[in-house]
Chains A and B, each alone.
Chain A
Amino acid sequence: MAWVFSPRGEHALVFPALRPLLRLADDRPNDRVEHDQSVSHTALIVKGMPTFSREEIVHLGDLARIALTDEEITRLQGELNVIADSINEVQKVAGPDVQPTANPVPLEAYLRPDVAETPLTQAEALAGGPKTEAGMFVAPRIQE
C-alpha cells in the first residue's frame, strides 16, 4: 500500500495492484490537455484525460436536470477530474479487436403470451402523484 495525495489535499490509500487504474494529480502527464473549445473531443480522449471545466459541469447539470449550486459545481469539478483520471485506463485495455458485451448473460428476446392482464387502476396509478386533478397528473407549463 502507498499513500498518494489527491488534488484536494486528502490522503488516499492506494493498492499497488491497482496503481495503473489510478492516475491521481501527481502522476498526470505535463502535456495534459486542458478543456478548450478548439480541441475536439477525440483529441481530448487520445491525448490526455478529460478535464471537467466549470462550464462543462454546469452543462452536464443542465443535461441531467439538476439545478446544481455553485458550491456543488466547484466540488464536482475536483471530484470528477480525479474519478475520470482513474478510470481512463480502461481505454488502454479495450483494444479494437475486443467486442463489447451489453448483457453478461445473453438471452434471446421472446414475446410473452398475448394474454390480457389487469393493470393498475387509475386511482392506484395516480396515488403517488405530487399533483393530480380529474384523473390526470398535473404538470407545470412547458413553455416559459
Chain B
Amino acid sequence: MTNATELVKLSAAEMAAKLKAKEVSSRELTEAHLAVIDKAEPTVDAFLKVAAESALAEADAFDAKNAKGETEGLPELAGVPIAIKDMIVTKGIETTAASKILEGWVPPYDATVISKIKAAGMPILGKTNLDEFAQGSSTEHSAYKTTKNPWDAERVPGGSGGGSASAVGAFEAPIALGTDTGGSIRQPGAFTGTVGVKPTYGGVSRFGAIAMASSLDQIGPVSRTVLDSALLHEVIGGHDKRDSTSIPREVPPVVAAAREGLKMDLTGLKVGLVKELSGDGFQADVEARFNESVKLLEGMGAEVVEVSCPHFPAALGAYYIIMPSEVSSNLARYDGMRYGLRVMPPADVPQTAANMMAYTREAGFGDEVKRRIILGTYALSAGYYDAWYGSAQKVRTLVIEDFKNAFEKVDVLVSPTAPTTAFKFGEKTADPITMYLGDVTTIPANMGGVPAMSIPAGLGDDGMPVGFQFFAPQMQDEKMYKPAAALEAALENQWGGPIWNKLNTPWLAD
C-alpha cells in the first residue's frame, strides 16, 4: 500500500488513474482520507458529520465492480471519495444546513447530484460545515462549529462553503461539492488556496439542494486543481426533469477545455479586465497577485483589454434585496409540522399552530437568518414589492446586459475573486454591511446567471492565499476552464509546484 500521506496529496484525476490501473483501491483511498479527517478535525473542524461506515461500504462496492471489470461507462472519477456541503440532502446521512431547526433530520431521498455521485461509485466521506442555510461569507454563522482556515487557524475559511473548501485544502477530501448563491463556492476557494466553480445557472440540477435564493443558487465543484473541478463538473452536470430551471442541454465540454489549457497556449484568446472590480477597496497585495497572473495570461498569447461593466456595483445592493426576499419565502417551509424542530409556546401563550411556528422559528434560526427573513418579508410586503424586489430585478437585467456587451468584445472576464485575503474571526461579524461588501466581486455572476470560477493566484503579504476569478458567457462554461488550467500550470511552473507546497500540515505528520 502506498503511504497514506502521499495518497491524499494526489489530485482526484491522479487517484482515478491509480484506481484504473488497480494500483490502489477505493477502500485504501477512503481509509486514507478518513485517517486524515481524524487527525485534522481537531484543528480544522470542516465536517459536521463524518460518514465513515457508509463511505467504506460504497468504496467496497466500487472495488468489487472494479475487480470484475464492470466499470465500463462510469465517469473518470469513479471510486474517488468526495465531501458534500451540508446544504445538499443525502439519504440516510443527517443533513442540517448547519441550522438547529434541522438538527437530527435524516433526509428520505437523495439530491440529483448525490444520485449521480453514488452511481459513479464515489464514496461520500461526510457533510461539511457552512454558514447556517448558506447565509454568510465566513462560516461563522454555523449553528454548530467554527471551521478554521488550514493556512491559519485564526482566520476564517470564507463562506458559506468554508467546510468544503477547508476539507479539500487540508487534504481531508480530494474534491467536494458546494453551493454558490453569491460567491459561497468561489470566495472560500480564494481564501483557502483551492479551486471553486459556480457553473451556469441551471447547468447543474438543484433538486435536493436546500433552497436559499432560488433565482441565484447553483451547485458546483470544489477541488485542488482545475482539471479535478472539470471532471466533477461533468459528473454532476446535465439536464434533470426534477428541476424546472435545469437547462435541457448536454454538459459543456469542460474536461476537454481544461486538458487543452494545460498546453499553456492561449493564442487568440481575448481577456477582459473588469474595470469596476479593481482599485480602491482592494488589498494592494491582492491586486499585485492579480496583475502578475494577468501578465502570465499575456505571456501565453492572450490579448488583454479593460472592459467596463457599469452596473456591477449596483448588483451588490440588488443582491441584498433579491436574496433575503427569496430566503424569506424559501425558509417559510420550516414550520415545525412535517420535519425538523418543533417548539411549543410557553404555558401562558395559546398552544396554537401559529404560535408553535413562531416559537419554533425563534428557537431554530440564528441571528443572520432571522435578519434576512425579516428584511425579505419587508421587501416582499404589499406597498414595497415594486420599489424593492421589482427594482432589484431591473438591476439584474442591467447586469445581464453588461455581461452581454462585455462578451461581445472578449471571451472571458477576469477579476480578483475577493477584495481581500481571509480575515480573522470576529473581524466582520459586528456589522453585517462590512461582511456583505466583500461579496462585490462574486455577486455579478449569480445575478447574471453566468459561470465563474476561482483559482489560487499566490499568497498575500499575510501569507494567505489570493484568488483569481474567471467569468464566461452563459452555457459556455468550457471557455473559462481553458485559461484557468493554463494559468494554473503557468503559476505552478513559477512556484515549482502547487500552492499547497507552502502550507503547513501538521495533521499529515505521522
Contact = CB atoms under 8 A, between A and B. Distances in A.
Contacts of A87: 317-318, 320-321
Most buried by A among B247, B370, B381, B394: B394
A17 interface: yes
B247 A107 contact: yes
Interface string B317-358: 110110000001000100111111110110000111111111
Interface stretch (B21-29, B38-46, B382-390, B499-507): B382-390
Given A66-B358, A93-B398, A101 B352 contact: no
Contacts of A91: 387, 391
A57 to B, nearest CB: 7
B202 interface: yes
A66 B374 contact: yes
Interface in A1-42: 1, 6, 8, 10, 12-18, 20-22, 24, 41-42
A94 interface: yes
What is the interface residue range for chain A against chain B? 35 or more
A130 B281 contact: no
B201 A104 contact: yes
Contact of B394 (A72, A94, A139): A94
Nearest to B420: A13
Interface in A63-115: 63-69, 72, 75-76, 79-80, 82-84, 86-91, 93-95, 98-105, 107, 109-110, 112
Interface string B358-378: 110110010100110111011
Nearest to A40: B383
A63 B339 contact: no
B382 to A, nearest CB: 8
Interface in A127-144: 127-131, 137, 139-144
Given A67-B362, A104-B448, A80 B374 contact: yes
A116 interface: no
Given A16-B280, A83-B432, A90-B314, A67 B359 contact: yes
Interface residues of B, number: 89
Contact of A141 (B313, B353, B440): B353
Given A18-B281, A65-B354, A128-B340, A57 B314 contact: no
B200 interface: yes
B433 A142 contact: no
A13 B434 contact: yes
B5 interface: no
Residue of A52, A65, A89, A127 with most partner-chain B CB within 10 A: A65
B215 A102 contact: yes
A83 B341 CA distance: 30
A101 B391 contact: no
B276 interface: yes
22 contacts: A10-B431, A15-B437, A17-B279, A18-B316, A18-B440, A20-B313, A21-B313, A60-B377, A61-B374, A66-B361, A66-B362, A66-B370, A66-B373, A69-B362, A86-B320, A94-B391, A98-B394, A98-B398, A101-B394, A107-B202, A120-B108, A124-B109
